[in-house]
Amino acid sequence: MFLPYNSKLNPTACYLRKEMTPQEKHLWYDFLRNYPLKFYRQRVINNFIVDFYCSQAKLIIELDGSQHYTEQGFAHDKERTKILESLGLRVVRFSNTDVDKNFNGVCQMINESVKKG
């Protein structure tokens, strides 16, 4: 399946791959990098850069820092999720705190989301 993307975001996505948050690094290096299905990090889809994307499962994983928990952040994320879901993708969100305090639970939920594919 071909997904629309804005090639102008490629340099930003590349920068974000090099400057991942501690939680993104933890999830990538300790779980997703060697996952049986291929995950991509900081992938451009439409006019967005998603944290992690698995094309086989049509699954996006987003890690949300504090900026996502404002009124404006909630509204932006809701619209973004709506657009991504309109492309036939599923979006699963975790807070940075989830990754820090319940890493195994986050990994288990990702496994379950992939299986639902």
29 CB-near residues (< 8 Å, 6+ apart): none
CA–CA distances in Å: residue 18 to residues 12, 25, 72: 10, 10, 27
Classified as helix, coil or strand, 102 is: coil
Distance from C-alpha of 112 to C-alpha of 117, rounded to nearest angstrom: 9
The pTM (predicted TM-score) of the whole model is 0.90
The domain limits of the chain are 1-55+88-102+109-117
Residue 25 is which amino acid?
Answer: K
- What pLDDT is recorded for position 77? 83
Residue 117 or 12, more confident: 12
pLDDT, tens only, 3-32: 998 999 999 999 999 999 999 999 999 999
Q: For a pLDDT cut of 70, what percent of the chain falls above it?
A: 93
According to the 3-state scheme, what is the secondary structure of 44-101? EEECEEEEEEECCCCEEEEEECHHHHCHHHHHHHHHHHHHHHHCCCEEEEEEHHHHHH
DSSP type of residue 19: T
- C-alpha closest to that of 55 among 115, 108, 110, 3: 3
pLDDT, tens only, 38-59: 999 999 999 999 999 999 999 9
Please determine, for residue 78, whether its predicted confidence score (pLDDT) is greater than 80. yes
